[in-house]
Amino acid sequence: MEFLHGQETLTAFQWVLRAVIGFLFLIIIAKVLGQRAISQLRLLDFVIALVIGDIIAHPLSDPGLGMKGAVITTIVLVILYVMGIFGILKSPRFRRLINNAPITIVENGEIIYSGMKKARISLDVLLEEMRERQIDSIKKVALSIWEADGKISFFVDPNYQPLTPSHYKMKLKPFDLPRTIIKEGRINNEELQQASRDKDWVVERLKQNYGVSVNDVLLATLDKKGDLNIFLYKNN
């Protein structure tokens, strides 16, 4: 375990061991931080990610630095981060201190320039976000809000929204998410069991209806009505 301590030089194998341990340690830290810190970087998340990355990077590139101090420091920072998240959940005052309040940048088809300045958003960014959401005119936006995680929310004016069956008081069938029972030539037995089917049923259905085997199927889904939809490999 000498490679964990500071030395004048390290062999190639010791550098590999440091990299592997650092990588595995960061994976554990990411699991502890949770999905929230990975999916959306708010102020607290950004700070902890930036600091941890910097702390771990040094012993992975400098043989004179040991990894023990970096690991201990990282663990302390993670504990402080978890305490900060708990404080955000329990204390409204601390929550206001850490998280930015939402800022209105468009209202009733009009740009709120003071809100854009406060959120530090340029007009180009606003227009880019609109294009990504297929909104072609600011006049169609009833409300747009800059959220605390840096994303922009858009609410289109009802007059520009497409008509849906609810406007005509039509009742449609409930939503049905088909189950993926075959993926890349492999049967998902767990999904089959939940759909009250077995492997023999799938093999027989593929043979009778499509003349193929399980290995020929790239993707197969099964809905609640028992309809099987398949997608074959391109060469088939």
pLDDT in tens, 14-50: 777 777 777 777 677 766 665 544 445 555 666 677 7
Structural domains in the chain, CATH included, are 2-95 (no CATH), 103-160 (3.30.240.20), 179-232 (3.30.240.20)
Quick one: pLDDT at residue 173? 81
Tokens representing 64 are: 């004179």
pTM of this structure: 0.55
Tokens representing 184 are: 């890349």
pLDDT in tens, 64-83: 777 777 778 778 877 887 78
Closest residue by Cα to residue 122 from 49, 130, 230: 130
Element (H, E) at 151: none
Quick one: pLDDT at residue 167? 79
Cα 34 to Cα 49: distance, rounded to the nearest angstrom? 12
Return all residues near 196 (Cβ < 8 A) that are at least 6 apart.
Answer: none
Mean of the per-residue pLDDT values of the chain: 81
**Range 35-38, long-range pairs (CB < 8 A, 24+ positions):** 36/85, 37/81
pLDDT confidence bin for 104, thresholds 50/70/90: very high
Residue with tokens 């990610």: 49
Cα 71 to Cα 13: distance, rounded to the nearest angstrom? 20
pLDDT in tens, 158-179: 888 888 888 788 888 888 889 9
Residues 103/149, Cβ–Cβ less than 8 Å: no
